[in-house]
Amino acid sequence: MLEPLSPTSPLILGSGSPRRREILTRARVSFVVVVGDADERVLAGEPVAEYLARVVLAKLVAVRARAGERPGSAILVADTSVVERGDILGKPADEAEALAMLLRLSDRTHEVQTRFAVAEAWGSAPPLAAKTVVTRVTFRAITNEEARAYVASGEGRDKAGGYAVQGGAGPFVARVDGSYSNVVGLPEDEVVEALRSLALLPAAPATP
């Protein structure tokens, strides 16, 4: 049985992402970080839904192995993908790929899909809660000079799609339809709702 989250019984965040740490901190969730390695390469012809489900489960297995036996503790793992016309744009391998990604997203609408799962920190049971949240992001037209300057900054080097919406790429965004925090890396409202549904967090206060 899972114990409610507290400083003495924190959530295990299976991610080294500073953005995800910031989102959980803002949501006032007690957590510790335990990172496990998982193969995030996209298989040939793999649909985004299957890719996200596979990678999230692989992360869960890896984090469980690193965390050790922690009865009563919960794990949160997640993976975020940028999807343009059905293609998954992962982290760019080099500056040339980062530039190609930005120019591909220019003056178009793409999707940011994050799948997260909450599971017991011990054993091998499937997740207790899992969800994929989709946000549509529209970029304005980006000039070659703007794209090259952003790539040279290095900010998007380790980001899906080659950009960070909360950073220097913010001015490229013309419209966001859906969860903004999802584009940053974790859909805050949906994660909090999942934690509450498992009684890991107190229920939301009643609206007067």
Which of 37, 39, 79, 189 does the annotation list as catalytic? Answer: 79
pTM across the whole model: 0.93
Mean pLDDT of 91-120: 97
* Residue listed under structure tokens 């790539």: 151
Both ends of the chain: CA-CA distance in Å?
Answer: 33
Instruction: Tell the residue number behind the tokens 């000039």, with chain if given.
Output: 143
Residue 204 pLDDT > 90, yes or no? Answer: no
- The answer to whether residue 39 is catalytic is no
Cα three-residue angle 197-180-94, rounded to 5 degrees: 115
Structure tokens at 27: 């949501």
Task: Return d(Cα 185, Cα 165) in angstroms, integer.
Answer: 10
Q: Structural domains in the chain?
A: 11-197 (3.90.950.10)
Please, are residues 101 and 174 in contact by the beta-carbon 8 Å criterion?
no
Q: What is the pLDDT of residues 34-68, one digit of tens each?
A: 999 899 999 988 999 999 999 999 999 999 999 98
